[in-house]
Structure 1
């Protein structure tokens, strides 16, 4: 999200340019709109563009659900779908009453202290505020749903409800204020403390790394799935049950990302084309790099790694999508695609942390890479473009801050919930699958699900 968000209320114009103005003169029905100039303002163009982008980002939730469901086992598919519904069902409510104010309210550079439930917003500002709230709420849901993938197939549903509420209501909004507070209220400390502002245009760190590091904390506290590691600690593959479904999810996410990144302008202007181009180029490069690296390492071009490579490229370009050239976007995607393969292997085999969908690597690690990439490739201030170390130094601070905050608060949250109400289902329930044990029904009714542990 741009930290130089223009106050569109001060930039009214009398009519939209170009083809729209011509259409108003040629089509009699549309010409009536000339009597209502308030319909033809930059304000309304911004509202329309931001709303469309928010709808695209909301559709990404379906993509996350498909990816997580496809990469895990059939016996817990329904539980995964329920968690993704929960992220919106409960997450949007708590973000309305609490999270939005903490993230964008006035008060201090550390957290907002106003605008809870949009209270105090002037009537004249409400049309934009409704749209801006909706756009931000779907970002909050994205941060929460990343967590569910890292702790899939062994976590109590009731406990996850509380995790989602804490993430969307407190953890994500407070750190979001540090980098994006000036979009609506007071500037956050990462925006105002240093000689150059922290750069994270659409959320490589604010959204993705926060979600990824929370997933890391959750996976550590809840522990690996039964059968993931043998008695010697050697990792064993637990294949996902529906790779085509996961592939559909990746394509949905790629599609929705054109709302995530270009929509973060929150302004209908000429910059959105470059942002969309950079976004897609990085995704394409990420998929190719992951394909190549997995082919070299495993002897075959791995399907799940290639899909995660696309997502890695998308996450990596999210921070610098508006501030780099297309050639740089390709390089950023290539690094992200290679990095995600190596990171998944390292976390799985060396750290012995069970992350069923690669959430930590895709979102945490590649989100950090994308944030650092701003300091390297930004055309204004990037190290490779003659900008020196100032921007890169701020980016390093930002990466460290978001890791400490998200991983630290994640460890506290998961540990407290584990002690208070339990975090993990019983061994018997896990073996049966969470669909039966947690929800009393099956995602694939009528099919006998056999699982070899």
Structure 2
């Protein structure tokens, strides 16, 4: 058990580092006047998520709370050395990815404290509700799937539980918030809003890519359960996604760096059961699908999802959940133990809960507190409007 505690601590630290990736991906994509706000929101959302998941969310998902003396906490369940506590840390880093994902969609015009309130509600109730259904068998949902479709829903590292949920929760948030000022003209034309820093965007992607191997491989939960197949599949899906996005996105650096992430999102669910060639195909479809989905949502539906989190996490997560039921089959060289229908129904259940949850939570917050910055504050930028400082204060002072 000592080894497992160390193993999961390393995994949790790697996924914690991914939050720096979320931060820099957002910092590089937003305009310069909103960089500080992006950094502050990602790290404070992690703080609010920790408190919400510690006091409420973990108990909602797994029926475990920490209101006991340390002597009992160290041996929760059949564990020793506080394994359940480090397991909480690991799963918290997944839960906190939900607001970090949504942050990229709503950035540049969201109010600070109402967003923090939404984070608490999502991580305390909505996310753990579905997490518990899938990863803890709550409400007999997995047993029902197995009885109905021959297998339970397989989501090894969270294509749907984490990414699909985050991406489709963001849909309600982005729609209720509305587009940034100047993004779409009255005549319906799409106005380009350029990213501020491509190197930061790229750095964010790289940090996420590296941390993802903790996200996927360490989802085994124990050192003994760790699988080289998961590592190889994650790698091949990542490169499949980035190459497909490079081609579909015509060398655009934003698409390339996000395409790698789309491949990784898509492989989470089936990373422990699909053949490596299947993983490559899953990544290719994920990367190309992200580019097509991003352009469709921005240009046709006119939904101002700044970082493209709906197609990246929602769309690629949905594909990953279903793909595990295709490429996980023994007929395609997979390990088996999955059925297409169980994967389809499980995935669509997650999407439905996320879409409803996003509109309910952000609708409530909008009705009670308001969620959008004033036009004046948005024009000034969230950095000065909320934090009273810019990303380069010394330089900005010299220019005045």
**TM-score normalised by length of structure 2:** 0.93
Q: Could you report, residue by residue, the CA deviation over 1:77-106 in whole angstroms, capped at 9, with x for unpaired residues?
A: 11111111112211101100100000111x
- Distance of aligned partners of 1:332 and 1:118 in 2 relative to their CA distance in 1, 3 Å threshold: farther
Q: Could you tell me which residue of structure 2 aligns to residue 22 of structure 1?
A: none
Q: Are 2:241 and 1:286 equivalent residues in the alignment? A: yes
Q: Could you tell me which residue of structure 1 aligns to residue 389 of structure 2?
A: 441
Q: Could you tell me which residue of structure 2 aligns to residue 258 of structure 1?
A: 213
- Distance of aligned partners of 1:393 and 1:193 in 2 relative to their CA distance in 1, 3 Å threshold: closer
Q: Quote the Cα distance in structure 2 between the aligned partners of 1:368 and 1:174.
A: 18
CA contact (8 A) 2:156 2:271 kept: yes
Q: Could you tell me which residue of structure 2 aligns to residue 64 of structure 1?
A: 22
Q: Could you tell me which residue of structure 2 aligns to residue 108 of structure 1?
A: none
Q: CA deviation at 1:192?
A: 4.9
Q: Are 2:7 and 1:49 equivalent residues in the alignment? A: yes
Q: Could you tell me which residue of structure 2 aligns to residue 163 of structure 1?
A: 118
Q: CA deviation at 1:302?
A: 0.5
Q: Quote the Cα distance in structure 1 between the aligned partners of 2:211 and 2:73.
A: 32
Q: Quote the Cα distance in structure 1 between the aligned partners of 2:334 and 2:395.
A: 61
Q: CA deviation at 1:388?
A: 10
- Distance of aligned partners of 1:144 and 1:306 in 2 relative to their CA distance in 1, 3 Å threshold: same
Q: Quote the Cα distance in structure 2 between the aligned partners of 1:331 and 1:169.
A: 36
- From 21, 36, 41, give the equivalent of 1:78: 36
Alignment of 1:220-369 (within 5 A): 220-269=175-224, 271-295=226-250, 301-369=251-319
- From 76, 84, 97, give the equivalent of 1:142: 97
Gaps in structure 1 of 5+ consecutive residues: 1-42, 106-114, 296-300
Alignment of 1:425-440 (within 5 A): 425-440=373-388
- Distance of aligned partners of 1:165 and 1:385 in 2 relative to their CA distance in 1, 3 Å threshold: same
Q: Could you report, residue by residue, the CA deviation over 1:333-361 in whole angstroms, capped at 9, with x for unpaired residues?
A: 11111000000001001111001111111
Q: Could you tell me which residue of structure 1 aligns to residue 344 of structure 2?
A: 396
Q: Could you tell me which residue of structure 1 aligns to residue 60 of structure 2?
A: 102
CA contact (8 A) 1:179 1:188 kept: no
Structure number with the bigger relative contact order (C-alpha 8 A, sep ≥ 6) is 2
Q: Could you tell me which residue of structure 2 aligns to residue 15 of structure 1?
A: none
Q: Quote the Cα distance in structure 1 between the aligned partners of 2:197 and 2:393.
A: 16
Q: Are 2:171 and 1:179 equivalent residues in the alignment? A: no
CA contact (8 A) 1:99 1:168 kept: yes
Q: Quote the Cα distance in structure 1 between the aligned partners of 2:135 and 2:243.
A: 32
Q: Quote the Cα distance in structure 1 between the aligned partners of 2:223 and 2:130.
A: 27
Q: CA deviation at 1:234?
A: 2.0
Q: Are 2:209 and 1:209 equivalent residues in the alignment? A: no
Q: Could you tell me which residue of structure 2 aligns to residue 370 of structure 1?
A: 320
Tell me the C-alpha RMSD between the 2 structures: 2.0
Q: Could you report, residue by residue, the CA deviation over 1:156-202 in whole angstroms, capped at 9, with x for unpaired residues?
A: 001111011111111111110111015xxx57513554231101000
Q: Could you tell me which residue of structure 2 aligns to residue 37 of structure 1?
A: none
Q: Quote the Cα distance in structure 1 between the aligned partners of 2:107 and 2:28.
A: 12
Q: Quote the Cα distance in structure 2 between the aligned partners of 1:237 and 1:369.
A: 28
CA contact (8 A) 1:202 1:261 kept: yes
CA contact (8 A) 2:275 2:334 kept: no
**TM-score normalised by length of structure 1:** 0.82
CA contact (8 A) 2:156 2:270 kept: yes
Alignment of 1:378-417 (within 5 A): 378-380=328-330, 384=332, 391-417=339-365
Q: Could you report, residue by residue, the CA deviation over 1:369-414 in whole angstroms, capped at 9, with x for unpaired residues?
A: 010111101145xx64599997111111112111111110110111
CA contact (8 A) 1:178 1:191 kept: no
CA contact (8 A) 2:321 2:347 kept: yes
Q: Quote the Cα distance in structure 2 between the aligned partners of 1:210 and 1:191.
A: 21
Q: Could you tell me which residue of structure 2 aligns to residue 424 of structure 1?
A: 372
Q: CA deviation at 1:144?
A: 1.7
Q: Quote the Cα distance in structure 2 between the aligned partners of 1:410 and 1:291.
A: 31
CA contact (8 A) 1:271 1:322 kept: no
- Distance of aligned partners of 1:262 and 1:188 in 2 relative to their CA distance in 1, 3 Å threshold: farther
